[in-house]
Each structure stands twice: as structure tokens, then as C-alpha cells.
Structure 1
Amino acid sequence: MTLEPEPARRQLAGKVASLIGTAESMQLAVPGLTIYRHAAPTEAYSSTYQPSIALVAQGRKQVDLGQSRFVYDESHFLLTSLDLPVTSRVIQASAGRPYLCVRLAFDMAMVRELLAQGGLPAARGQPGALAMTLGQTTAPLLDAFGRLLDLQQAPGDIAFLGELLAREIIYRVLQSADGARLRAIATLGEHGQRTAAVVDWIRQHYARPLRLDELAGMAAMGQSTLHRHFRALTSMTPLQYQKQLRLHGARRLMLTEGWDASSAAFEVGYESASQFNREYSRFFGRSPMRDVKALRRPEGG
């Protein structure tokens, strides 16, 4: 029997609503699986999206990555292939019809394993695109997510069936035109994969001074080539990417660890507290002190 997208979407929305109740986010027992609910549009919130797929069962959300904007809804999922600092907000939600979303974080080792097995159709689409893109939500994808949510009621099946369903979801993404970038990032030797390794290095060492010649050597590319591929993947230069990671890192220290602004600034690599305050206020829209006092919001899907 052929599945139709609309009934599958309604079923998924019902399952998310039943599980989450009135909470805004909930991490489920399946590894990497989180659901979200908002009963009204939200303010812009800055966070880092990890490699994942976010599927909206109801409502609409906007994500800004550098100068690029993505709006995903009941017909389109958001695919993220790298750790990317973004600003996002729910733009369509109400008490009667809340925003409902499910996000599955990718196990990149599983992605590479599926690619190594072969048998996938040839990749379509543009391989040089951003590491974030929109894809068409299909009934089989909605159904797979629904079955993944069902495991919350059968915890004994999660260890076996959870991995199988995650593999099915990744497979369906990889065989679509929108999965071309995920393929390139996961494939050894590709420019995308080598650039992704540099992105990952900066993410892990963002407090260190950045030297473009060292990064280019790491990627086995010329500096201008790396710069071009880095911007193509992230919509940012390496320095812009590092700065956003530093600001996110400092914000996390202040909000969750109780650090003062100056200590957090120096910890993430800033040498000037005044420069940190200026850049923080420009990026987040308010001073560190005001931001810490603001209502905390969960990282969204």
C-alpha cells in the first residue's frame, strides 16, 4: 500500500503531541532523538546545530546561517551536515495548532558505513552547496520517524530497532538529491570531507589563535581554495565561524556555569573584554549581563 504524506504527517504530529505534553523540548530514549513544541512564535535564538535532520510535523521555523536563510515546514525538512552556529525562531505556531518537530542527530560513522556498502543510486544535486539544506518531506520518511517515536513505548526494542530505523532514515536522506552534501562531507578524499575536517578542528579548538596556512595544510589545499570551500559549506569565513563558536561558548559558560563575562571571554580566547562585550552585544542583540538574565530557551529543532 502506498503511503500518502498528509495522513502520515497527521499521525506523526499526534505522536509528538502525545509524548511531549506541554513541554517545549524532550530528549527521548532513542539516542539522538529529540522532540519540540511551541504554542506561539518565538524570538530569535542563537545556538549550534549538529549534523541532523529536523522534520516538522506542524508549524514552520526559520533558521539563518550567515547570510543564508532556510524556512522549513510540514512539507520540507532541514538537513544539517556539519556543526553550524545559527540563529533560529519558530514563525508559525499557536495554542490550537502548536509547532511540533522531531530532530534526529546523525551518527556520522553510520553515514560512512552506509556509503561504504554501496548500492545507493548516484548522487544528484549540486555537491558544492552549503552544509545545510532543505529537502522534500515524503510519506516513507514521516512513517520511519513515526515508528522511531513508537519505540518510546517499547524501551526493550530500542537497542536493536532504534539503530535499524536510524539507518533507514539516513538511507532515505542519502538517496535523495538533498543528501549530496551529506555524502560529500562523509566521503574520505572529497573536498567537502577535508573542509569538514577543518571545520571540526576549529570547533574543538576555537579558543586557539587561527592560522589559515596551518588549516590549509591540514586540508591539503591552498589557502584560497580552503577559504572558498569553507565559505561554500558554512556561509562564513574560518574567522567568522571561530568568532561565533567563541561567543556561543562564552554564553554557555555564563548561563550554565555562572561565569562572569570577563572570565568567560578570556576562557574562549578573547584577549580584550571590551572587544568581547562589543561583539557579544552585536551578535546576540544585548549585553552579556542582560543576556544572562533573559529567559533561557532550549536549543531547538
Structure 2
Amino acid sequence: MSEPFSKQQIQFSELIERHTGKDGSHTTAIPALHFARYSNMTEPNYGVYKPSLCIVAQGAKEVLLSEERYRYSPIDCLVASVNLPVTAQVTEASFEVPYLAFIFEFTPSEILSVLRESRMGIYKKDNPKRGMYVSKMDSALLDAVIRLVRLLDDPKDIPVLAPLITKEIIYRVLQGKHGATLGQIAIEGSSAYLISDVIEYMMNNYEKSFKVDKLTEIANMSVSSLHRHFKEVTAMSPIQFQKRLRLQEARHLLLSESIDATEAAFRVGYESPSQFSREYSRMFELPPKEDINRLKAKLYLDSGSN
């Protein structure tokens, strides 16, 4: 690792530490930019990664997409090109060297704008790639990211300069080894673009029963092409994707509202509470009631220690 790059990493860590200071997720004055800080390894966290660039400044994290494991540390960046239900866990963190991360979300329209201005050759007929990858960080990308974070010290500059640096960050990612993975999502008519439309529909209607004909209509694909391309992008079938969305939302409902497992099951689209309980136990390794009691007890202990 070059000395300038090492210095950049130190600056990057110091900036995030200064804008966080305590454990948890932190929003910023730049709406698309978030930070995370944790002083300990975390339990697996189930949620949806939006299209985004995630960079670890200190520590390390693992993300599980279906059965695929992605690990990234300060020399890496993780890119998600579509909404993906994942399991994430901070695997390296301590009080002395807390886990620090930069999360920057972007939209297909922002990607398309950069593609048009740069005239990059990304072809819509290419086969879609997996909607998540880990790539090595480079000095040019890290420099742009640091400049974006520094805007937080002078908020009056954000409206003018943040959009320009956002374009640069997307441009740097598109120039990387896996840039076509991100670029295809923005190119109308590409298989990846069409699958992203299916994902968007499923994100907004996960609690509903749907026929595969509806998904093939959205994607304008045959059944076999839909299943093949969907799995290429998400690492799972449409049914598996929907199931993860339902179970993750059910867990959130059970933790945040005073409802029982049967009501949670019905609200996320299950017709059979027993099937819900079986699938919940398989995913979270405990039946709903036991899992939620354990989570609440842990939250209580964590709040008492802060």
C-alpha cells in the first residue's frame, strides 16, 4: 500500500470518527450519505441494501447474500447495484479501534447521467451481473469520497459541490473493474435494468401473492429467462427473494409493535401461521417469540451499558 494512500485512510477514519462519536447509524446533512460506528462485533443484522457504495474506514464487515459471503475491510469497497435483502455483521471492531463505515446511496438516473456525459461503452445486451460485488479501493475514489465528507464541515458548500462530487464518485466506480455491473442497471432495455424493475415491484408488493406471469410481463421476458436473469442479479429465485423480504419485515413488526406472530404472519402475506413459524425459525434460528424476547433483552442490556 502506498504511503499517500495510507495517509488518505487515516484522514478518512478521522473524519468519520469526528462526525459520529458514538455507536450507531448516523445521517448527515448530505441526504445520500450515512455513517456507521460500532465498538464491538455485532449480531447478524437482516435488512435491505439499497443501491450504494459502502466503504469501511476501520474494522471489517461481512455481508451474506443468499449463500454468498462478501467480506470487506479498509482496502475494499462494496457496491450494491439494486435493492438486495442481506444479512450483515460487523466482524472486526473494538473500543480502541471502532468499526467506521461510509455508506453512499445513488439512483439509476444519477448513474445514467454520468454514463451519458462520459460516453462509457456499457452495452445493454450484455448478460446481467450479480447485483453486489467487493472491489479493491483506489486512491482516486478515496480522494473523492474524502472531499464529499469534508463538505459536512462547511454546509453552505453542499448544494453546489455535493452533486459534482457525487458524479465523480459514480464515475470512479463505473471506471472500476466491475463498473459494468453498476452501469447496466441504468441502461433502459438491458436485462439488468428489466430485472431491477421486477425487484422494485416486489419491494413494493412483497406481502401480496403474485403469479409469475405478472413478473414476466414487467420484465418482458419468458419464464425461463426471468428466473435465470433474476438469479444472476440477486443470487436467489423470485420466491426466495419475496420470502426474505416478508420474514425480515415480520421480524421488524414483532420487535417494534405489540403484535403476536400470527398477526405479523398475516400482515406480511402468509396465509399459514405454522408455515410462517417454520420459515422464520429456519431463517433466524429461533421461533418468533423466543427470537424477539432475546432481541429485546439484548437491546435492554445494551441501553443500560451506554
TM-score when scaled to structure 2? Answer: 0.90
Task: Return the offset for 1:252.
Answer: 2.2
AA in 2 matched with 1:188: E
Q: Residue 90 of structure 1 corresponds to which residue in structure 2?
A: 90
Deviation, 1:72, is 0.6
SS state of the match for residue 178, structure 2? Answer: helix
User: What secondary structure sits across from 1:29 in the alignment?
Assistant: coil
**Structure 2: how far apart are the matches of 1:241 and 1:121?**
31
Task: State the partner residue of 2:66.
Answer: 66
Distance in 2 between residues matched to 1:198 and 1:67, nearest whole Å:
21
Partner of 2:219: 219
CA contact (8 A) 1:127 1:184 kept: no
Matches within 5 A, 1:269-280: 269-280=269-280
The alpha-carbon deviation at position 30 of structure 1 amounts to: 0.5
Q: Classify 1:259/1:151 alpha carbon distance in 2 versus 1 (closer, same or farther; 3 Å).
A: farther
Give me the whole-angstrom Cα distance separating, in 2, the residues matched to 1:10 and 1:139.
13
The change in CA–CA distance for 1:82 and 1:3 in structure 2 (over 3 A counts) is farther
CA distance in 2, matches of 1:122, 1:116: 11
Partner Cα separation in structure 2 for residue 27 and residue 185 of structure 1: 26
Q: Which residue of 1 aligns with 2:11?
A: 11
Structure 1 pair 97–127 and aligned structure 2 pair: CA distance change class (3 A): farther
Aligned equivalent of 1:164 = 164
* Larger RCO, structures 1/2 (Cα 8 Å, 6+ apart): 1
CA pair 261-206 structure 1, distance change in 2 beyond 3 A? same
Structure 1 residue 55: Cα displacement: 0.5
Match of 1:287 in 2: 287
**Given the two structures, how large is their TM-score scaled by the length of structure 1?**
0.92
* Rounded Cα–Cα distance in structure 1 between residues aligned with 2:290 and 2:156: 45
C-alpha distance 109-3 of structure 1, shift in aligned 2 (>3 A):
farther
Contact conserved, 1:121 with 1:175, CA < 8 A, in 2?
Answer: no
Residue 131 of structure 2 corresponds to residue 110 of structure 1: no
Within 2, Cα distance between the matches of 1:46 and 1:78? 17
- AA paired with 2:181? R
String of CA shifts for 1:86-105, please: whole Å, max 9, x gaps.
Answer: 11111112222111110001
Deviations 1:105-142 (A, max 9, x none): 1122211222233433668xx85321000112111211
Q: 1:129 to 1:107 in 2, by over 3 A?
A: closer
What does residue 54 of structure 1 align with? 54
Q: Distance in 2 between matches of 1:259 and 1:141?
A: 46
Structure 1 stretch displaced more, 207-216 or 240-249: 207-216
Aligned residue number for residue 258 of structure 1: 258
* 2:196 aligned residue: 196
How far is the alpha carbon of 1:148 from its aligned partner? 1.4
Distance 1:259 1:147 in 2: 46
In 2: Cα distance, 1:287 partner to 1:39 partner:
29
- Asked if structure 2 preserves the Cα contact closer than 8 Å seen for 1:3 and 1:140, the reply is no
Greater Cα shift, 142-151 or 73-82: 142-151
Look up the equivalent residue of 2:275 and give its one-letter code: Q
For residue 33 of structure 2, what is the aligned residue in structure 1? Answer: 33
**Alignment correspondent of 1:245:** 245
Post-superposition offset of 1:210: 2.5
- Residues 259-279 of structure 1 show CA distances to partners (whole Å, capped at 9, x for unaligned) of 332222111110011111111
Following superposition, the deviation at residue 3 of structure 1 comes to: 8.7
Q: Secondary structure at the match of 2:133?
A: strand
Distance 2:250 2:233 in 1: 24
Contact 2:46 2:85 in 1 (8 A): yes
SS at match of 1:90: strand
Unpaired segments ≥5 residues, structure 1 = none
Q: Which of 198-207 and 282-291 deviates more?
A: 282-291
**Amino acid paired to 2:43:** E
1:145-156 paired onto structure 2 within 5 Å: 145-156=145-156
Say if 2:197 and 2:219, in contact at 8 Å, map to a contact too: yes
Count of paired positions: 294
| Residue 213 of structure 1, CA deviation | 2.2
Partner of 2:101: helix, strand, or coil? strand
Does residue 119 of the first structure (1) align with residue 143 of the second (2)? no
C-alpha contact 1:210 1:239 (8 A) present in aligned 2:
no
Over the residues paired in the alignment, what is the CA RMSD in angstroms?
Answer: 1.9
SS at match of 1:206: coil
Unpaired runs of 5+ residues, structure 2, are: none
Residue in 1 aligned with 2:77? Answer: 77
Q: Percent identity among equivalent residues?
A: 37
Distance 2:104 2:3 in 1: 22
How far apart in 1 are the matches of 2:41 and 2:116?
42
